[in-house]
Amino acid sequence: MKKEIILVLLLITTLISCKKEVENPADLIYFGGDIITMEGDQAQYVEAIAVKSGKILFVGSKAEAEKLKGSNTEMRDLKGKTLLPGFIDPHSHFMSSLAMNSQANCQPAPAGEANSVEGIIKALKKLKEDKKIPDGETIIGYGYDDNAMPNGRLLNRDDLDNAFPNNPVMVIHVSMHGVVLNSKSMAIYNINDKTPTVPGGIIVRKPGTNEPYGLIMEMSYLPIFAAMPKPSIETQLSQLKEGQMFYAAAGITTAQEGATHMDEVTMLDRGAKEGKLFIDVISYPLFTEMDTLFKVYPPKVFGKYNNHFKLGGIKITIDGSPQGRTAYFTTPYLTGGPGGETNWCGQPSFNQDEGNKLLKRIYDAGLQSGFHANGDAAIDMCIKAHEFASAGNPTKERRTIIVHAQFAREDQLDKFVEYKLIPSFYTEHTYFFADTHIKNRGKDQAFFISPFKTALDKGLRPTNHTDFNVVPINQMFVIWSAVNRISRDGVVIGADQRISPYQALQAITTNAAYQYFEENNKGSLKVGKLADLVVLDKNPIKVAAMDIKGINVVETIKEGKTIFGK
């Protein structure tokens, strides 16, 4: 009997030891929290997902997922946290992330502490002290918001000269479409009383003189921007990791460089080839760079990733910013122009004929275009250019993006539907700049800014962005602003344009993937898609609407590998 028992035990041991290993085991299995797939127009939850070799292997019940557990499978218990597809950035300026630590934050609260001219000077002095910037070297600040200055007291050349007599100083406007320079910087860029204001440009002059004194914007700013001091390519390459971490910390696994110059394209391409990118970066080079760009990067190389870097299309800038009063409208600003102009509607960067030819060149090359257009007159120009450039086939799906599209009229949204144009809205303006828009444009237009609900009701698939570094990278704030539409002063800015938290999530997941022609690889939790994931400490769909901005990103996963948190 004892021998029989031993034989039975040996047989059981043998059977256990011979148990067949799972044929296709998962690398990771996530379970134990709210897992939102982002498939469909209503929130769908599953118990678990399995990941293998950077892609999603399974989505469904925990019991079925466990059948994919092998000896080396890592089981990740979410412990009540929420897992979603990684966030996709529809529009920002990735290159700005590389310079964040070498520039002074001159933004007003809550993004910074520079709520006055004195606050701006304080931020610039702190940078000079902290970075030990010697006399003679340029000091750069970002985020100056002239509309937020108390009592209309604006930053000017004399303020900067008095505070920094021995350094060139540049303070970039919050719109990123302009700058205030001191005298030493003006000398570097040959800006003086004989400098003309070019078409599409703004140069604020000292009252009673022709001397440049304050903001230099739009087409007058572009040559300055192109010639601004930039770190070496080697320095920028060394900054790539830190820059990507700004995005990863916000749960973003795909970022955009939304107005790329040729030298920046070259740097990003080299960084990709050297394996320095761990999130996907999509570049939209500026229309002004096309001739040079196409000699090195012909249209046939666009739309394909190379080690996380992709050229997405060409960026065309039609107008400026509404907060800078350089957006182009069909009706005048209530407050005049930035240089004291009367009956001021803003102005385009170029005329309609030039815009038509630009877009036709892009379409003829088979490329996607992203228009920067804020004012309704600028959006009219986009629509007319599309009609001209589409060679009699304006309804063909090209996924042309109207970046910002903030003051789109309802009739223009109808044209977006007809022509399959994609609005990439900017609902954070309802918080950061709503008071300025009400003052400049009146309540009716200000309350219809970024008309998300109307766009959705018409069947459009809008995206929603930060335009970093105009405002900080914070995807929870992006969602919060679309759901609540509340200004700094607590005023609801267009309650009828509020959307649900799920719709706000779609704008930075499924809709954003569609914008980039990447809906088959990203944007939702589906078998075969990339395992780009984000873990949040709370569920944006289940918390109170006002609490969404307090949700934290716990972990960001790119193709199955944790790049932030854990």
Q: pLDDT tens digits for 211-261?
A: 999 899 888 998 998 888 788 899 999 999 999 999 999 999 999 999 999
Give the model's pLDDT for residue 16: 45
| Phi, psi for 195 (deg, rounded to 5) | -70, 120
Residue 4 banded pLDDT, cuts 50, 70, 90? low
What's the mean pLDDT in 186-209?
Answer: 92
- Per-residue pLDDT reduced to its tens digit, 450-459: 999 999 999 9
Residues contacting residue 304 through CB under 8 Å, at least 6 positions apart = 310
Which is more confident, 201 or 486? Answer: 486
Would you give the distance in Å from CA 324 to the centre of its chain? 19
Per-residue CA distances from 520 to 207, 208, 460, 514 (Å): 57, 60, 19, 9
Above 80 in pLDDT, residue 8?
Answer: no
- Report the C-alpha gap between 484 and 488 in whole angstroms: 12
Above 50 in pLDDT, residue 11?
Answer: no
Kindly list the structural domains of the chain, giving each domain's residue range(s) and its CATH number in brackets, ordered by start: 100-227 (3.10.310.70)
Give the model's pLDDT for residue 205: 93
What's the mean pLDDT in 271-275?
Answer: 98
**Are the C-beta atoms of residues 381 and 348 closer than 8 Å to each other?**
yes
- Report the C-alpha gap between 409 and 251 in whole angstroms: 32
Above 70 in pLDDT, residue 511?
Answer: yes
Q: What's this model's pTM, rounded to 2 decimal places?
A: 0.88
**Are the C-beta atoms of residues 144 and 324 closer than 8 Å to each other?**
no
Rounded percentage of the chain residues whose pLDDT exceeds 70:
96
Residue with tokens 């830190």: 242
Token pair for 30: 């996530």
Residue with tokens 């003189």: 209
Give the model's pLDDT for residue 2: 55
User: Which segment of 137-151, 244-258, 263-277, 414-428 scores lowest on mean pLDDT?
Assistant: 137-151
Q: Apex CA 286: angle with CA 285 and CA 289, to 5°?
A: 90
Residue 356 banded pLDDT, cuts 50, 70, 90? very high
Residue 3 banded pLDDT, cuts 50, 70, 90? low
Residue 20 banded pLDDT, cuts 50, 70, 90? low
What's the mean pLDDT in 457-463?
Answer: 98
Above 60 in pLDDT, residue 495?
Answer: yes
Give the model's pLDDT for residue 19: 47
Above 60 in pLDDT, residue 203?
Answer: yes
- Per-residue pLDDT reduced to its tens digit, 32-41: 999 999 999 9
Give the model's pLDDT for residue 145: 87
Residue 149 banded pLDDT, cuts 50, 70, 90? confident
What is the rounded average pLDDT for all residues in the chain? 93
- Report the C-alpha gap between 12 and 400 in whole angstroms: 65
Give the model's pLDDT for residue 17: 45
- Per-residue pLDDT reduced to its tens digit, 284-304: 999 999 999 999 999 999 999
What's the mean pLDDT in 397-407?
Answer: 98
Above 90 in pLDDT, residue 152?
Answer: no
Give the model's pLDDT for residue 200: 85
